[in-house]
């Protein structure tokens, strides 16, 4: 509800629609939204079908030339939606963009990343030394105050051209949670499109804890990562990346990190 209110409050000079997909929350959200925000369309799903598939339901009925996928645990700090939409409208080679994410205290949060690869697992083995050397300060957050080409935008605030969503069919249903936005980005990049972090768009992301325990999250993330690697790089690459990942996990445990 707070996310909807912030969109309405902060978005000016742009025609838009708001579509909320309720992933079987069972909390009466449809009635609350229709009462407080009658202009919002709500799609209630009979079961939790995962992040990507739920977004696909909203994407199917969206009419906008640009589609923003915005988590419900977010608040717009400024006119982020218009900033991102204007950027796509004026940069035809860009297919996806997103803003800078902050926590409730306006502390920078992970907003984008490299496309996953064996290099990431080597970075984990280095205990973060390699990425600090190679990427410097702009690792996961755009401190540069200017648009920056990145690997992927986090799923909390991805804006994608509607035409690209139609061509790709949206998110791959094989992913329940994690890496679905990365895999979609991989397909869109293969079409020759760029992905850009636009730091002028500022969004608070306070991250819902609904997924469950950290152990469950880690297991889901690892499974989704392996699905991603199999689809994009093949089984041998997946095996190698998984081996390096397991080595990095054991090393962190041995070092007490």
DSSP 157-219: EEEEEHHHHHHHTSS-TT-SSSSHHHHHHHHHHHTT-EEEEEEEEEEEE----TT--HHHHHH
Domains in the chain with CATH codes: 2-255 (3.90.550.10)
pLDDT at 149: 96
pTM above 0.95, yes or no: no
Beta partners for residue 97, in sequence order: 159, 196
For the chain, 257 residues long, give each residue's pLDDT as a single digit of tens.
799 999 999 999 999 999 999 988 777 778 889 889 999 999 999 999 999 999 999 999 999 999 999 999 999 999 999 999 999 999 999 999 999 999 999 999 999 999 999 988 888 777 767 767 666 677 899 999 899 999 999 999 999 999 999 999 999 999 999 999 999 999 999 999 999 999 999 999 987 545 556 788 888 999 999 999 999 999 999 999 999 988 988 887 777 76
Residue 212: predicted pLDDT: 58
**Cα dihedral sign for 48, 50, 55, 57?**
negative
Cα four-point dihedral sign 92, 98, 99, 100: negative
List pLDDT tens digits, range 152-172: 999 999 999 999 999 999 999
For residues 200-222, one letter each, b for 16 or more C-beta atoms within 10 angstroms of the residue's C-beta and e for the rest, the string is bbbbbbbeeeeeeeeeeeeebeb
Q: What is the reported pLDDT for 237?
A: 95
Structure tokens belonging to residue 177: 């949670």
Q: What is the pLDDT of residue 111?
A: 97
């Amino acid at each position: 509800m707070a996310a909807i209110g912030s969109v309405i409050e902060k978005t000016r000079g742009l025609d838009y629609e708001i579509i909320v997909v309720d992933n079987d929350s069972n909390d009466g959200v449809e009635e609350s939204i229709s009462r407080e925000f009658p202009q919002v369309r709500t799609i209630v799903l009979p079961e939790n079908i995962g992040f990507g598939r739920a977004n696909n339901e909203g994407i199917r009925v969206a009419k906008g030339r640009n589609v923003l996928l915005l988590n419900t645990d977010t608040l717009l700090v400024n006119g982020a939606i218009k900033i991102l939409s204007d950027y796509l409208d004026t940069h035809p080679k860009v297919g996806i963009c997103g803003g800078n994410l902050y926590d409730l205290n306006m502390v920078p949060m992970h907003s984008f990343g490299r496309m996953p690869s064996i290099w990431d697992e080597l970075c984990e083995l280095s205990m973060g030394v390699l990425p600090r050397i190679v990427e410097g300060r702009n690792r996961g957050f755009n401190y540069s105050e200017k648009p920056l080409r990145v690997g992927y935008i986090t799923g909390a605030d991805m804006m994608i051209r509607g035409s690209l969503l139609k061509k790709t069919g949206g998110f791959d249903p094989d992913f329940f949670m994690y890496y679905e936005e990365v895999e979609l980005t991989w397909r869109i990049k293969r079409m020759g499109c760029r992905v850009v972090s636009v730091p002028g768009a500022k969004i608070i992301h306070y991250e819902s804890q609904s997924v469950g325990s950290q152990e469950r999250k880690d297991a889901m993330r690892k499974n989704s990562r392996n699905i991603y690697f199999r689809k994009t790089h093949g089984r041998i690459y997946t095996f190698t990346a998984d081996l390096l990942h397991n080595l990095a996990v054991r090393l962190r445990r041995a070092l007490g990190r």
